[in-house]
Structure formats: C-alpha cells, structure tokens
A and B are shown apart, each in its own frame.
Chain A
Amino acid sequence: MRKLRAAVTAALAAALLTGCGPAAPEPSSATIYAMDTVMELTVYGEEELLEEATDLIHDLESRLSVTKEGSDIYKANIEGSARLSEDAARLTGRALEICALTGGALDISVYPVVRAWGFTTGEYRVPGDDELRELLKTVDYSKISLQGSDLTLPEGYMVDLGSVAKGYTASAVIDLFRGAGVTSALVNLGGNVEALGSKPDGSPWRVGIRDPMGDGYFGVLEIRDAAVVTSGGYERYFEEDGVTYWHIIDPSTGRPAHSGLSSVTVTGPDGTLCDGLSTALFVMGLERAAQLWRDSGGFEAVFVTESGEVYITSGLEDAFTLEPGRGELKVIDRG
C-alpha cells in the first residue's frame, strides 16, 4: 500500500510539473511615476535592484528637471549660472554636442518658446509673431558656456534638458543593472525604451512603435543592447480655430515643426543620443535626417511621413517588421 501511495504521489508530481512546463527565470518589475511620465522597469535579477533604480531615477530627476525648484538646471535658469552636479554636467555636455551635430534642429535653449506656447504647463496659447521674434533672440545653443561643471547662460536664456533626460536616465538605469551582473532587462520610461542584453531565452526584445495615425502599432523593432525612442506630434498637442499645434518646436521658427513627418523613431546603443535625435530628426524632415544618418554613425531610424509612408534606414532591414496591411516599406540606403 505504501508503495502505491508513493507511486500516486510521483504521478501527481509529474502531472503538476508537466502541466506548468519548465521553470523560466522570473522577472521582477516596478512601475515608477517620475519625470512627468509612467516608467516600467523589468529586470531578470534581484528585486533589490529595482529599489536602487528607483532611487537613481528620483535623484536624476531632482538634478535635471527644469521645473523642480532646487535642481541644477532650475538654478542656472534663475541665476544665469550654476555649478552642475556630475550627471547634469555630463548630460548638458552631451546635449550641446547633439545640438551641434544636428545644426540646431535640437536646441536646449528653446525652452522660453516652448513655455510661451504653454506646453510646460498645459495652459496652451498661440504666441503672436512679435512675441516669438523677441523670444527667439534668446534661443541659440552655441551661446551657452559649459566649462567643466560650470554652466553660464547669456542674459534672458533658459535651458531645458527634457529632450534628452529620459534617454540619459534609461541608459543610467541599464548601466546600474549591468554593473550588478544582470544580463537581461528592459526599461520603458514613458516611451523611451532601452534593453540590456536579450530576453532570457536569447531572443531579441520586441518593441512596438505606436501608430501616429490611430490605435495600435504600425511595426515592430527587434533589439538587443539598444535604446529605442520615438517622437511624434501626437504625443502632446492642442487645437485652436481648427489648427493643430504640437509640442515639437522648430528652434529656427519658434513654431511647431512641420517637416512632413508624423513620427520619428531612433534606435542605437546610446540612449541619450537616441532621445535627442528623435526630436531633432522630426524637426529636420526626411531628407535632412537621412543625410545626417549617412554622415554620422551610431544610430538607425524609422520615419513615418504625414501621408503614412514608412521609411527605415538600411541597418534595420532585418530588425524591423511592418505590420500587415501597412503598405510597402521603403529603405533608405547609405549611397
């Protein structure tokens, strides 16, 4: 009888085990509200790492935010100069490089204009021509001085690192995980996605890119050890007298950028670069953006035009899949 009972137990155990399949490593995940967005962190590793990452994110926000009183950037904007913390100095330096790389299509000093449109507060309005002309006098990244960690702004200037801060933070979180020995993690900072390694089974992470024209996503990008950042006019906008005004401002005109694109996705190993470029390439439009891609390395891109056509740079031919029924994918070549 005892033998039989043992057999029953074994049979039951076998049934239960096969019912659930082989045990996969369990991910830990956390949802964090910071930097004006919802962040999701998934890590195949110790759960304590999520607490460290949360602290890191809040610390970076307190230094990089343009609206948080006491942040390095807030201080520089009020007083005209500030000694920056290590992260703020490093990110400001990187941001100024991207401003130069894009010929000012990204300009961290456009903040007074963005503020005039109400995109920082939600109190939207259309500024007059005279007002914009006056505000544009204080928009020129090349006039900003960063000597070591000392940031100095000309009279009336204000800077905002919002166009690069989430990308930088995503990379910082990934670096934290990598330093702790993690080989598989994915962070999504309100659409700023960055992956460490691949999924535990070795397959790439699959990132959907939101359809600028409607619900759902129009394509999927497969990534390993890379960031993906998308900028689109649909993210924040308002309508007045039948005209839609969105939050991506062309620093050369002070008005919402209308370059013929409805969304730009940039992917590559450097989260800060991807973040800054997604905004800049949107401002530049398809032709100039494609030229910048040919002239410089370190990133690939997916473009959606206002008429819904999808273009990818040739480095993504294997990694990007267009959803069925989305027409023909066009590939931009190096040549």
Chain B
Amino acid sequence: MVKTRTWVIIIVLLLAVSLGLTLWLWSRPRGDVVNIYQDGELVRTIDLSLVTKEESFDLESDYGRNTILLEPGRIRVSDADCPDKVCVDSGWLTGAAPIVCLPHRLVIEFAGGRGNIDAVTG
C-alpha cells in the first residue's frame, strides 16, 4: 500500500510539473528570444529578457567580423569589417525585418517568427 501511495504522489507531482511547464512555455514572452545564423547555421540563441547590462561580443567567421551589442531587451550590430556596413546601419533589431550582413552571411532575427506574420516584403 505504501508503494501505491508513493506512485500516486509521483504521478500527481509529474502531472503538476508538466502542467506548470506547459503553462510557462505558453505564457513566456516569445518576442524576446533572438537567433543568430551564420551561413544558414544557427550559431547562437540569446534571450533578450535575461540581458541585464550592456555587453558586446565578436562573431568571427571566414567571411569577417561582426560586433554584436546587447542591452536589456534589445540587440544590434555595433561594428563590422564588411564593406557596406548595412548591418550596422540597420540599428536595433525590430520585428519587421531581420538584421542581415550579406557579405558575412549573418542573419539576426527573433525566434518563433515575427508575431503572427509568415514573411515580410519590402
């Protein structure tokens, strides 16, 4: 009987945990997770809601270097050794369009798409 009660407790606990996990996954703000792709490969995932202070890091590849700047809730390319600097000029990442550095084949975009939008034109 003791064993049965142990099993029941385990089941209840597991159900509670799975329910909690599901609710947390649903309610979590999706717009804060950013993926960085190099040459189509996911190289880094950053949750902007966990960024508490300004920090930056370099992404180096065979194509060149991009310096990524993080502030609480936002991300941008602050410097790069590409010729056109389109990525730097793009400013902070918005939901409308990813930050792209074509010469370095770098793409920074929000994970889970852009809200309920499947693609952006323009």
A residues touching B (Cβ–Cβ < 8 Å)? 1, 4, 8, 11-12, 15-16, 19, 30-33, 36-38, 40, 122, 186, 188, 191-193, 199, 205-212, 215-217, 220, 228-230, 232, 235, 263, 265
Partner of B116, one of A11, A206, A210, A216: A206
5 smallest beta-carbon distances between A and B, as pairs: A210-B122, A230-B122, A31-B40, A215-B94, A208-B117
Nearest-neighbour CB distance to chain B for A34, whole angstroms, equals: 11
Contact of B15 with A217 in the complex, beta carbons under 8 Å: no
Residue in A closest to B103 when the chains form the complex, CB atoms: A33
Q: How far is the CA of A31 from the CA of B96 in the complex (A)?
A: 18
List of B residues within 8 angstroms of A205 by Cβ: 118-119
Partner of B107, one of A8, A31, A193, A207: A31
Nearest-neighbour CB distance to chain B for A94, whole angstroms, equals: 21
List of A residues within 8 angstroms of B7 by Cβ: 4, 8
Q: How far is the CA of A230 from the CA of B122 in the complex (A)?
A: 5
Q: How far is the CA of A235 from the CA of B40 in the complex (A)?
A: 23
What would be 28 A-B contacts, judged by CB atoms less than 8 Å apart?
A1-B3, A8-B7, A8-B11, A12-B11, A19-B22, A32-B40, A33-B39, A33-B105, A38-B98, A40-B119, A186-B118, A191-B121, A193-B119, A193-B121, A206-B117, A207-B121, A208-B120, A208-B121, A209-B122, A210-B96, A210-B120, A210-B121, A215-B94, A216-B96, A217-B96, A217-B117, A228-B119, A235-B122
Q: Contacts A207-B117, A207-B118 given; 4 further ones with Cβ under 8 A?
A: A19-B19, A33-B105, A210-B97, A211-B96
Contact of A229 with B121 in the complex, beta carbons under 8 Å: yes
List of B residues within 8 angstroms of A208 by Cβ: 96, 114, 117, 119-121
Nearest-neighbour CB distance to chain B for A214, whole angstroms, equals: 9
Residue in A closest to B117 when the chains form the complex, CB atoms: A208
Q: Is B21 an interface residue (CB 8 A)?
A: yes
Q: How far is the CA of A15 from the CA of B13 in the complex (A)?
A: 12
Main secondary structure of the interface of B (DSSP, over half): mixed
List of A residues within 8 angstroms of B118 by Cβ: 186, 199, 205-207
List of A residues within 8 angstroms of B18 by Cβ: 15-16, 19
Nearest-neighbour CB distance to chain B for A126, whole angstroms, equals: 19
Partner of B121, one of A33, A38, A199, A265: A265
**Interface 1/0 per residue, B79-122 and A, CB below 8 Å:** 00001100000000011111010100101000000101111111
Contact of B40 with A215 in the complex, beta carbons under 8 Å: no
Nearest-neighbour CB distance to chain B for A268, whole angstroms, equals: 13
Q: How far is the CA of A209 from the CA of B119 in the complex (A)?
A: 9
Q: How far is the CA of A26 from the CA of B18 in the complex (A)?
A: 23
Contact of B102 with A36 in the complex, beta carbons under 8 Å: yes
List of A residues within 8 angstroms of B122 by Cβ: 191, 209-210, 212, 217, 230, 232, 235, 263, 265
Nearest-neighbour CB distance to chain A for B86, whole angstroms, equals: 9
Nearest-neighbour CB distance to chain A for B118, whole angstroms, equals: 5
Q: How far is the CA of A217 from the CA of B120 in the complex (A)?
A: 8
List of A residues within 8 angstroms of B117 by Cβ: 206-208, 217, 220
Q: Is B4 an interface residue (CB 8 A)?
A: yes
Residue in A closest to B37 when the chains form the complex, CB atoms: A31
Q: How far is the CA of A56 from the CA of B100 in the complex (A)?
A: 23
List of A residues within 8 angstroms of B107 by Cβ: 31, 38
Q: How far is the CA of A122 from the CA of B102 in the complex (A)?
A: 14
Known: A38-B100, A208-B114. A228 touches B121 (CB 8 A): yes
Q: Is B51 an interface residue (CB 8 A)?
A: no
